[in-house]
Chain A
Amino acid sequence: MMGSENDEDSHLHASRDEMENLFLREEDGDKSNSGYSNLSPPPIIVTPADSDPLFAPNNSSYIEPPSYADVIFSPFDDNVSDDGGGSRHSQSSDSLSLSRSPSSSSTSDYIKITVSNPQKEQDLASSMISGGSTYITYQITTRTNLSEYNGSEFSVRRRFRDVVTLADRLAESYRGFCIPPRPDKSVVESQVMQKQEFVEQRRVALEKYLRRLVAHPVIRNSDELKVFLQAQGKLPLQTSSDVASRMLDGAVKLPGQLFGEGGGVSVVEVAQPARGGRDLMRLFKELRQSVSNDWVGSKPLVVEEDKEFLEKKEKMHDLELQIINASQQAESLVKAQQDMGETMGEMGLTFIKLTKFENEEAVFNSQKARANDTKNLATAAVKASRFYRELNSQTVKHLDTLHDYLGLMMAVQGAFADRSSALLTVQTLLSELSSLEGRAEKLEAASSKVFGGDKSRIKKIEEIKETIKSTEDSKNVAIREYERIKENNWSEVERLDRERRADFLNMMKGFVVNQVGYAEKIANVWSKVAEETSQYDRESS
């Protein structure tokens, strides 16, 4: 993850903060430059946006207005829990108008999700047996003015398992769509991490996930999501069962299928991929089909002919690789900025100590003068260090877009996978049809040689013809499903491309504005020192 804010602050210990504040407070009493006078420890810790430069007097730039130093928005309109995952989707927080392309929802629509208040609860079902296992629930608060929801603000309590259920149900209902991936189960992490840290990490991830869901123009209207957000008490969605019980169910049905009963895939089930279902038979068939697809020389009856699709898939893959790379380099950049700020601050504090020392021990005026010069340098270094840290926390928010898109690229892969599995279903059914028809032909040929008709064979032929008919129906459904998914894919990828371009441009703008603003502030700090030490300017050449 792109550097949690808590990490950098754990480097600050009380005495260092005290020193900084003590020193700067003395200094700022006589300064008219009120833009600096409200600097408090990085706003991550203290929520009130003391350092909101929107209210600072326009004193900060050499360049023509607008100075970006003034325009850097204070990112702390939202409460501390906001890590900005969905903030570029909701229209609330950005005071700069970095709005996306007009295709996004109009400004009157509003839905905002907050995840908070994790609490431990007792698992009543197992408390008899295992002596009471506990789980965590989170409060999910929705604020909205959308008419589809009952009310403008409401909360429910959900546990992580409910989120898994929601994600699974959405995956079924929205095949072909780029569904934002849900947070990991993180089984290992939940064992290894400190409980509090893990819960907080999960809370943040859940909030991001839900915000992405409501940002999706189609999914935000889904019943599953609405139910998840609104229904009090137990989540009324069909729970996903685990693989083992699914296998068991499938194993029960299998003998019947092997002996020819319940011929073919039911029309209902064919609309879902084989993998998540209980029909082992179907699973085997499709697996066999996919293997035969892979064999060189054996061509399935319907292939992915759509060149455009294949190219697109290739491009998406490349894009994903580059986003991964850029995201990694962005993390390095963030770390380098953070280190710069830290070292600058530490150096400043060292010089503050030196100043105090010289002042205490001063015997000569030259010492006092030097102590004064050192103080100016030290103050500047501490201020610059603050600015680096603020710059960095903003940079993290902006460049997090890259990280977010990694998740969305996974969603795209999911959508493409839906298409492939739907195609596989079609292919399998076509093969089956073809083999059934082959058998029927053979039987007819054989039976026509028997004079008077072959009662048993004729019966068999009829049975096969029935199976062929139902398989035909399934095939048609499968094809329709495949076409539908193709449509979804296409529109989703289009939408994603558009949104991604807009998001990336916004990211770049935000990043650049941020850099400009803070660079100006830092430049001012040092220019001041250069002025204060101008008597030492020895550049004669």
Chain B
Amino acid sequence: MQSPRSPSSQPFLSVSVTDPVKLGNGVQSYISYRVITKTNFQDYQGPEKIVIRRYSDFVWLRDRLFEKYKGVFIPPLPEKSAVEKFRFSAEFIEMRRAALDIFVNRIALHPELQLSEDLRTFLQADEETMERFRFQETGIFKKKPADLMQMFRDVQTKVSDAVLGKEKPVEETTPEYEKLKHYIFELENHLTEAQKHAYRLVKRHRELGQSLLDFGKAVKLLGACEGEPTGKAFSDLGTKSELLSIKLQKEAQQVLMNFEEPLKDYVRYVQSIKATIAERGTAFRQHCELAETTKLKEINLDKLMLTRSEKVGEAEIEYREIKAESEEATRRFERIVKRMDEEIVRFQEQKTEEMGVAFHQFAKGQARLANGIADAWRALLPKLEAASSV
């Protein structure tokens, strides 16, 4: 979400998701966001546009892109809904806003996705239009063109498993792809574990903060019972302890937002890749099965031609249609493969950058915290020395 410093000849598209506002009543209440677009793209309505969007609009965009750009790793969305009472907490809202902001900007920076018509709609349409689009799309995600589906089923009933030779669904088995799949699935496990620990670490910060607070209070009360100089020493100790408690709570929040959340995002990204892998699998199967069917049709056609059957005409038409579909399926599959090859490179680079940033911020935060703790306690030592020598 950088302010564009590039010369105006360079195309840019930058978005910010801001200003969460709670709308609606009771059970139907929801959060709406201001989405501000700054761009010099030709087909956009001017250099700046502001619209109001809600979470389900983002979901619509994600689903549309997933449908249309198979093979691209669609950026992940933050989770749908949390536990009810947490849903409107300031922390949750802020974290969601930040995640949505990242989501849209990733799309805006992607060479293919940024040209999407659905993105344009999302960034520019007024709210009523947006709502209309959103309602239309329920169910489209799963819908396939009816004709193709029908033909596909016809083919399936005619072709027996014996001919195809397998009971199992067909899968790609190239070693590189196998390796990739294995990598993605394993990676998810590792990352999920890492994220869990990061979350626990946030809790530990909070707990340590709380215990320092309680300890500080207890020690001050104890100091009140003691004469000088112990009393004052305890009081100073207690005050410091309370101060450090605040630092710890602050750091807890930082770790949550700048370390745990990126790890969660990483997990979501990997899950999105898994969805793409599934799509690729489907596309591969279609490509294989349609190729088989085409071959069968061809054989059948040749047979009919030899016998000069009157069914030749019909068969020829069928054959040509199936062949076209098969070629389309193959193109689709190959496009997915090509996209994925590019995407995986982008993904790895992007993740190295994002993780690097997260690690750096975490390390800085921890160092800052530890130094703050050291400074605070150190300041107490001359006083304690003075008290002992009394």
Q: Is A194 an interface residue (CB 8 A)?
A: no
Q: Which of B195-229 contact A (CB under 8 A)?
A: 197-198, 200-201, 203-205, 207-208, 210-212, 214-215, 217-219, 221-222, 224-227, 229
| Interface residues as binary, A482-519 with B (CB distance below 8 Å gives 1, 0 otherwise) | 00000000000000010011101110110111011001
| Interface residues as binary, B58-93 with A (CB distance below 8 Å gives 1, 0 otherwise) | 000000000000000000000000000000000000
Bound complex: CA A325 to CA B367 (Å): 32
- With contacts A347-B201, A364-B345, A530-B363 taken as known, whether A508 is within 8 angstroms of B222 at the C-beta atoms is no
Q: Is A213 an interface residue (CB 8 A)?
A: no
B356–A504 CB distance below 8 A? no
B367–A527 CB distance below 8 A? yes
Bound complex: CA A337 to CA B212 (Å): 10
Q: What bracket does the count of chain B residues touching chain A fall in?
A: 35 or more
User: Which residues of the other chain, B, contact A344 by a CB distance below 8 angstroms?
Assistant: 201, 204
Bound complex: CA A326 to CA B214 (Å): 9
A520–B345 CB distance below 8 A? no
B197–A526 CB distance below 8 A? no
Q: Is B388 an interface residue (CB 8 A)?
A: yes
Q: Is A384 an interface residue (CB 8 A)?
A: yes
- With contacts A336-B204, A350-B193 taken as known, whether A329 is within 8 angstroms of B211 at the C-beta atoms is yes
User: Which residues of the other chain, B, contact A92 by a CB distance below 8 angstroms?
Assistant: none
Nearest A residue to B192 via CB reads A350
Q: Which of B223-238 contact A (CB under 8 A)?
A: 224-227, 229-230, 233-234, 237
Q: Which of A318, A350, A533 contacts B359 (CB 8 A)?
A: A533
B190–A354 CB distance below 8 A? yes
Q: Is A446 an interface residue (CB 8 A)?
A: no
Nearest B residue to A505 via CB reads B388
B359–A373 CB distance below 8 A? yes
A63–B378 CB distance below 8 A? yes
Nearest A residue to B205 via CB reads A340
Q: Is A361 an interface residue (CB 8 A)?
A: yes
Q: Is B143 an interface residue (CB 8 A)?
A: no
| Interface residues as binary, B324-339 with A (CB distance below 8 Å gives 1, 0 otherwise) | 0000000000000000
Q: What bracket does the count of chain A residues touching chain B fall in?
A: 35 or more
Bound complex: CA A346 to CA B194 (Å): 9
Instruction: Write the nearest CB–CB distance from A493 to chain B, whole angstroms.
Output: 13
B360–A505 CB distance below 8 A? no
User: Which residues of the other chain, A, contact B349 by a CB distance below 8 angstroms?
Assistant: 364, 366
User: Which residues of the other chain, B, contact A530 by a CB distance below 8 angstroms?
Assistant: 360, 363-364, 367
B187–A357 CB distance below 8 A? yes
A512–B222 CB distance below 8 A? no
User: Which residues of the other chain, B, contact A504 by a CB distance below 8 angstroms?
Assistant: 226, 230, 233-234
Stretch binding the partner chain, chosen from B153-161, B267-275, B288-296, B369-377: B369-377
Q: Which of A216-271 contact B (CB under 8 A)?
A: none
Q: Is B179 an interface residue (CB 8 A)?
A: yes
Q: Is B380 an interface residue (CB 8 A)?
A: yes
Instruction: Write the nearest CB–CB distance from A124 to chain B, whole angstroms.
Output: 50
Bound complex: CA A526 to CA B363 (Å): 5
- With contacts A346-B197, A513-B381, A523-B374 taken as known, whether A325 is within 8 angstroms of B221 at the C-beta atoms is yes
- With contacts A347-B201, A533-B359 taken as known, whether A361 is within 8 angstroms of B345 at the C-beta atoms is no
User: Which residues of the other chain, A, contact B388 by a CB distance below 8 angstroms?
Assistant: 502, 505-506, 509
Q: Is A369 an interface residue (CB 8 A)?
A: yes
Q: Which of B194, B371, B381 contacts A351 (CB 8 A)?
A: B194
Q: Is B366 an interface residue (CB 8 A)?
A: yes
A536–B357 CB distance below 8 A? yes
Q: Which of A319, A364, A505, A523 contacts B371 (CB 8 A)?
A: A523
Q: Is B9 an interface residue (CB 8 A)?
A: no
Instruction: Write the nearest CB–CB distance from B2 to chain A, whole angstroms.
Output: 9
B374–A519 CB distance below 8 A? yes
Bound complex: CA A512 to CA B360 (Å): 29
B214–A519 CB distance below 8 A? no
User: Which residues of the other chain, A, contact B374 by a CB distance below 8 angstroms?
Assistant: 63, 68, 515-516, 519-520, 523
B193–A508 CB distance below 8 A? no
A512–B190 CB distance below 8 A? no
B348–A366 CB distance below 8 A? yes
Nearest B residue to A316 via CB reads B225
Q: Which of A343, A357, A515 contacts B186 (CB 8 A)?
A: A357
Bound complex: CA A328 to CA B200 (Å): 24
Q: Is A59 an interface residue (CB 8 A)?
A: no
User: Which residues of the other chain, B, contact A319 by a CB distance below 8 angstroms?
Assistant: 222, 225-226
Q: Is A522 an interface residue (CB 8 A)?
A: yes
Instruction: Write the nearest CB–CB distance from A380 to chain B, whole angstroms.
Output: 7
User: Which residues of the other chain, A, contact B229 by a CB distance below 8 angstroms?
Assistant: 501, 505
Q: Is A161 an interface residue (CB 8 A)?
A: no
- With contacts A63-B378, A384-B366, A519-B373 taken as known, whether A533 is within 8 angstroms of B221 at the C-beta atoms is no
| Interface residues as binary, A320-351 with B (CB distance below 8 Å gives 1, 0 otherwise) | 00110110111011011101100110110011
Q: Is A152 an interface residue (CB 8 A)?
A: no
User: Which residues of the other chain, B, contact A384 by a CB distance below 8 angstroms?
Assistant: 366
Instruction: Write the nearest CB–CB distance from B195 to chain A, whole angstroms.
Output: 9
User: Which residues of the other chain, B, contact A340 by a CB distance below 8 angstroms?
Assistant: 201, 204-205, 207-208
B230–A520 CB distance below 8 A? no
Q: Is B121 an interface residue (CB 8 A)?
A: no
Bound complex: CA A346 to CA B226 (Å): 42
User: Which residues of the other chain, B, contact A330 by a CB distance below 8 angstroms?
Assistant: 215, 218
Q: Which of A171-222 contact B (CB under 8 A)?
A: none
User: Which residues of the other chain, A, contact B217 by a CB distance below 8 angstroms?
Assistant: 329
B352–A326 CB distance below 8 A? no
User: Which residues of the other chain, A, contact B233 by a CB distance below 8 angstroms?
Assistant: 504-505, 508
B370–A501 CB distance below 8 A? no
Instruction: Write the nearest CB–CB distance from B260 to chain A, whole angstroms.
Output: 10
User: Which residues of the other chain, A, contact B186 by a CB distance below 8 angstroms?
Assistant: 357, 361
- With contacts A344-B201, A364-B345, A367-B352 taken as known, whether A519 is within 8 angstroms of B359 at the C-beta atoms is no
B359–A512 CB distance below 8 A? no
A515–B373 CB distance below 8 A? yes
Nearest B residue to A330 via CB reads B215
Q: Is A534 an interface residue (CB 8 A)?
A: yes
Q: Is B117 an interface residue (CB 8 A)?
A: no
Q: Is A148 an interface residue (CB 8 A)?
A: no
Bound complex: CA A366 to CA B237 (Å): 48
User: Which residues of the other chain, B, contact A353 by a CB distance below 8 angstroms?
Assistant: 190, 193
In the complex, given contacts A384-B366, A500-B230, what are 6 additional A-B residue pairs having Cβ atoms less than 8 angstroms apart?
A366-B348, A369-B352, A509-B385, A512-B378, A526-B363, A530-B360
Pairs A-B, 5 closest by C-beta atoms: A523-B370, A536-B356, A519-B374, A347-B197, A529-B363
17 pairs across A/B with beta carbons < 8 Å? A315-B225, A322-B224, A323-B222, A339-B208, A357-B187, A364-B348, A366-B348, A370-B348, A373-B355, A374-B355, A501-B226, A502-B388, A516-B381, A522-B366, A526-B370, A530-B364, A535-B356
Query: CB within 8 Å of B: which residues of A?
Result: 62-63, 68, 315, 318-319, 322-323, 325-326, 328-330, 332-333, 335-337, 339-340, 343-344, 346-347, 350-351, 353-354, 357, 361, 363-364, 366-367, 369-370, 373-374, 376-377, 380, 384, 497, 500-502, 504-506, 508-509, 511-513, 515-516, 519-520, 522-523, 526-527, 529-530, 533-538
